[in-house]
Amino acid sequence: MKKLLATLALSAVVMNVYGAYPDKSIKFLVPWPPGGATDQVARILVQPLTKELGVSVFVENKGGAGGNIGTQSFVQDKPDGYSILMATSSTNAAGPHLFANQGFDAAKDFTPVVLVCTIPNIMVVPATSPWNSMKDLMADAKQNPGKFTYGSAGIGASQHLAGAQFKTVTGLDIRHVPYKGSGPAAVDLMAGHIDMMLDTGSLNNIKAGKLKALSVAADKRIPELPNVPTMKEVGVSMVANAWYGVMLPAGAPKDVTEKLNAAFNKVLRDPEVKQHLQSIGAQIDGGSVADFTKFSQAEIKRYEGIVRMSGAPRE
């Protein structure tokens, strides 16, 4: 009994010195500028996550180089659970096949926590565009090769891959204009400086009447845009979406990883969170650490074929 009491006392001292995770604020790194889909998803989650974990969770944006600059810095952080990443299919699946040197290894430098959601790309044009359908857009682009432009969040971003895939499937000659994030690209699109974008973060601007949605690159129409046809419905055989998940640096402790997984899964079941995510076109996922680990590794292999099919050049 004395030995047991001594052990419990020692455990209490250790807990008092080191604290139970988490006992300080958590940085949620978004490797893209504010305003894009990745940033929107993270910001929907931080407040309920703060409530669930009992410590402040804050978003830090560090954009540039198609998400690589912020992600590069993230893998240097301590794997203690106080720095978490909003990983995406762009940086953590497509990137290895688009960049000769990303500055990190997508297969080895991360500890997967949970898959948050997937969002389909939507073909959007400025509200002032003369195009009111995909038929209008494709007919005009066919008659004017090289005249029109599509924007993206940068080389390797979902908008870039979707646009390259669209060009390959249709044979249309439209020019790629990369930005440092989808937020800045959307601003220029609304201003009419570029002509179109296949984007994952434009639903709010569509609802506000600032952009027109011509088609959704999904298997079926989405509830938020019931009158907007899929690409397949307008004769374009393509599906393009992006996924968003939470990761820690490689070597994160299992107990920390599992605690974060449980917290995110609980937050994703919250009706208000579900409503907010669905309002931006997200399909909510969730699941175990093992689920996301298997998924993320498989996605690296799957995106090799997607990148090849898109025709996107290796940087």
pTM for the whole structure: 0.85
User: Closest Cα partner for 182 from 212, 207, 162?
Assistant: 162
Instruction: Please give the pLDDT value at position 100.
Output: 85
Instruction: Please give the pLDDT value at position 7.
Output: 39
Q: Which domains does the chain have, with CATH numbers?
A: 2-118+243-310 (3.40.190.150), 122-234 (3.40.190.10)
The count of other CB atoms within 10 Å of the CB of residue 52 is 16
Going by C-beta distance under 8 Å and a sequence separation of 6 or more, which residues neighbour residue 135? 234
Check if the beta carbon of residue 102 is closer than 8 Å to that of residue 193.
no
What stretch of H or E contains 119? strand 110-120
- CA angle, 32 as apex, 226 and 129 as ends, to 5°? 45
Average pLDDT per 10 consecutive residues for the chain, totaling 315 residues: 44 46 98 93 98 98 92 97 97 92 95 97 97 98 98 89 94 94 93 97 94 96 95 95 96 98 98 95 96 97 87 70
What stretch of H or E contains 86? strand 83-88
Check if the beta carbon of residue 152 is closer than 8 Å to that of residue 124.
no
